[in-house]
Amino acid sequence: MDTANVVIIGGGVVGCAIARAVSSRWDDVFLLEQTPKLGMGASSRNSGVVHSGLYYPPGSQKARHCVAGNQLMYEFCAAHNVPYRRTGKLVVATTPEEETKLAGLLERGRANGVEGLRIIHRPAIHAREPHIAGLAALEIPSAGVVSSEELVKAYARVAGGQGASILTHARVKRLAPRKDSIAVGIEIGDPRQPESLTEESIEARCVVNAAGLYSDEVAALLDSTRYRIYPVRGEYCEVVRAKAYLVNALVYPLPHPEGLTLGVHLMKTLWDTVLVGPTARYVAEKNDYERGRLPMEEFARLGKHLLPELQAADLIPAYSGLRAKLLPPGAAGPVDFVITRDPNHPRAIHLVGIDSPGLTAAPSIAQQVAAMVAEVLD
């Protein structure tokens, strides 16, 4: 049986950021990812937006980690050649009622420590985004876009360079607490080729559950059944190249009143395409990316709120992603990140419900988890 100081379950952006953080201090760090490649889930199926920390209740983990992660993200990307662009963002009010809500967002953002916020009006909106309809907008200069796939690869590359062992096609089947460790039972190989499967076990002094959509199931392996993840699918479409000039940067509506989503937004990508999305719909299965996709007419209807020129003929289907929501259908948010040691098995650290702004928050979350790992190991 192999031994390890730290076993991290989940090779998305948060898991890879944690691997980078803990492997800088401890050896014998293992990262386990069940899919063939790192970051194949929510980490690469999102908008790739670097958020500022505007939306979240002051003092919440989401607010704290997003604001800190914003700066850490830009620093890491610059140091490790990860493509990014600090574009700024507009949250646009299109009615007088929405305009009154901008002041509340401004106050919340300032309370969270977001710098440079200001409310602008129609002439300034038009100067930045000539095709966007709006009475007023909250301007957020610290927002931007990043290549999420390259970000995951960079965190993993740094972690590997520091000695971390990274295993893909590695599914955790058992977690068995011992006196001074947790035995991690792993199935390795492609499940589509049963003859290739092998089983191994690692004796870990500390286990970090960063399994995203499956974090509740990993927690249940230690009999922690208090968590349940509700998958919420977000779908995207792309504006045809000939109409990509309609959007210059990031344009958002007011957020969903129940905290389910930040709303269908418009985004100029690093590749100068324009995305419209994501939508938000609860689905029953954690791998349901495609069943019953919305028609382009629905995206056009949603996008016209901000971009009146948008037509269904201007749109083509793009990808979809699944958010790991702790908020059940019919409930009102917001719901904060769960980052905690297991109450019955303190050598395990659970990260549950790491939805948006998890991409931005990842480097700051990693710092907190590294400090929690130190409490276990030191």
**Is residue 255 very low, low, confident or very high in pLDDT (cuts 50, 70, 90)?**
confident
Average pLDDT for residues 79-107, to the nearest whole number? 96
CA gap 97, 118 in Å, rounded: 18
Query: What's the one-letter identity of residue 153?
Result: K
CA gap 164, 160 in Å, rounded: 5
Backbone angles phi and psi of 322, in degrees to 5: -125, 130
Q: Provide long-range contacts, Cβ within 8 A and 24+ apart, for 124-127.
A: 125/90, 125/92
Percent over 90 (pLDDT), the chain: 94
- Structural domain spans, the chain: 2-45+149-228+334-377, 86-144+231-325
Tell me, what's the pLDDT at 130? 98
Fold of 86-144+231-325: D-Amino Acid Oxidase; Chain A, domain 2 (3.30.9)
Indicate if the pLDDT at residue 250 is higher than 90.
yes
CA gap 117, 113 in Å, rounded: 10
Percent over 70 (pLDDT), the chain: 99
Tell me, what's the pLDDT at 257? 67
Write out pLDDT tens, residues 25-72.
999 999 999 999 999 999 999 999 999 999 999 999 999 999 999 999
Indicate if the pLDDT at residue 204 is higher than 70.
yes
Write out pLDDT tens, residues 190-199.
999 998 899 9
Mean pLDDT of the chain: 96
Query: What's the one-letter identity of residue 237?
Result: C
Q: What is the DSSP string of 18-55?
A: HHHHHHTT-SSEEEE-SSSSTT-STTTSS--EE--S-S
Tell me, what's the pLDDT at 249? 98
Architecture of domain 2-45+149-228+334-377: 3-Layer(bba) Sandwich (3.50)
Q: Comparing C-alpha atoms, which of 94, 91, 141, 92 is closest to residue 115?
A: 141
**Token pair listed for 339:** 């980052």
Tell me, what's the pLDDT at 328? 93
**Token pair listed for 214:** 């499956």
Tell me, what's the pLDDT at 260? 65
Return the ∠ at Cα 171 (arms to 168 and 172), rounded to 5°. 130
Backbone angles phi and psi of 249, in degrees to 5: -150, -120
CA gap 193, 195 in Å, rounded: 5
Cis geometry, peptide bond prior to residue 346 (ω within 30 degrees of 0): no
Return the ∠ at Cα 20 (arms to 346 and 34), rounded to 5°. 70
Write out pLDDT tens, residues 151-182.
999 999 999 999 999 999 999 999 999 999 99
Which value, in Å, is the radius of gyration of the alpha carbons in the chain? 21
